Amino acid sequence: MKTDRRRVRRTLSAVDFAELLTVTSNSKKTFRSLDGKTRRLIYLVAARTGLRESELASLTERSLRLDAEHPTVIIDAGDEKARRGAELPLHSDVAAALRDFLGGGQGGGTSKPSIKLRGRSQDASPLWAGSWWRVGAKMLKADLKAARDAWIKAAENDPTERESREQSDRFQYVDSDGRVFDFHALRSQFITDLGRAGVTLQEAQKLARHSDPRLTAGHYTHLSVSDLAGSVARLPAIPTESASAKATGTDGASTTCADARVALRVAPVIDFSGRRLTTIDDGEPSDSSSPETTKPPTMRGFAVDRGRMTTADVEEAPPGIEPGMVDLQSTALPLGYGALSLTC
């Protein structure tokens, strides 16, 4: 019997990730010659660019365009996993931290190590030298433990709270569900935070450098119930019976089957199999697309609501791409739209 040996990763909340960065920055310990501020910067760049360990280790001063109107980081084709090369935008906070790092300031890390490689100029040396990237998970695990220890110690004067924190899985490398937060999870953090920020799936796919959007949506996004709750909260309120009657002009009147058929002919119906349906005179929807031309629709927006959906918001998706559950949950579909059933 074969077992699934894939590692299930998780992401941290914004508060937990910020706390991890703070504790790491204040750490007096070094790991493979990297001090706390430098490790903090590495984690920050990883979680705001999606760069992998080996890609981060390949960065030099030449890789950075920090003075451009839109700061970017460039990955050479030989250093990228897909061997295509890429230029990625940098968040303003990350660009500022990197400038500080290269300038020898203390806000974003210590100054860049003075390392000269034979036959190469100074600005071609690695930003973060050493073999740390081969054991990035071990490095992050140690900093997670430090963050957890500091969090538990903060409750030392409250025995009940301390016991509660000791039983919690906060900042654990492996949580109670068996999910890990290793170095590669910082890439998951990046893509999930893009979803939380409301970027489109297409934009997230490009930033993640995925060839298939299903990989972006299915394997790297870890939106929690609290994330999705905000999308559900954007659904329109259900009108009261009297308000609904006044708005439709049916106050005191009864709705006939003929009225319902007229409504069906006016409003197109889209089912969740990806087919656009039309209506015929007897009120029953019929499939208006042929098997050869049927393509599932995709809905705009990535993990957050983009407003009430209209027929203009439905686009043709590439063959085989089905709308994800996040898309369906976060799109503010008009209540009852396409769900009318005639019984007469």
Which has more pLDDT, 122 or 172? 172
What radius of gyration do the chain's Cα atoms show?
26
**Using CA atoms, how far apart are residues 52 and 58, in angstroms rounded to an integer?**
10
Is pLDDT at 73 greater than 60 in this prediction?
Answer: yes
Q: What does the mean pLDDT of the chain come to?
A: 72
Paired strand residues for 87: 74
Strand partners, 332: 308
| Three-state DSSP state, 21 | helix
- CATH number 1.10.443.10 given to 8-222: yes
The two structure tokens encoding residue 264:
């069906």
Q: What pLDDT does 260 receive?
A: 42
Least confident piece of the model among 37-46, 161-170, 214-223, 273-282: 273-282
On the 0-12 / 13-18 / 19+ scale of CB atoms within 10 A, 119 is exposed
Q: In the predicted model, is pLDDT for residue 47 greater than 80? A: yes
How confident is residue 123, by pLDDT bands cut at 50, 70 and 90? low
In this prediction, residue 341 has a pLDDT band, given cuts at 50, 70 and 90, of: very low
- What's residue 198's pLDDT? 84
Token pair, residue 106, equals 């203390």
Domain boundaries, the chain: 8-222, 251-330
Q: Confidence class of residue 122 from pLDDT cuts 50, 70 and 90?
A: very low
Burial of 12 (0-12, 13-18, 19+ CB in 10 A): buried
* Mean pLDDT across 282-291: 43
- Both tokens of 63, joined, read 């890789």
pLDDT in tens, 161-179: 999 999 999 999 999 999 9
Confidence of residue 228 (pLDDT cuts 50, 70, 90): low
pLDDT at 83 over 60: yes
Only one residue has tokens 């695990």, namely: 141
- DSSP one-letter code for 80: S
Return the higher-pLDDT residue of 339 and 104: 104
Residue 334 has pLDDT above 50, yes or no: no
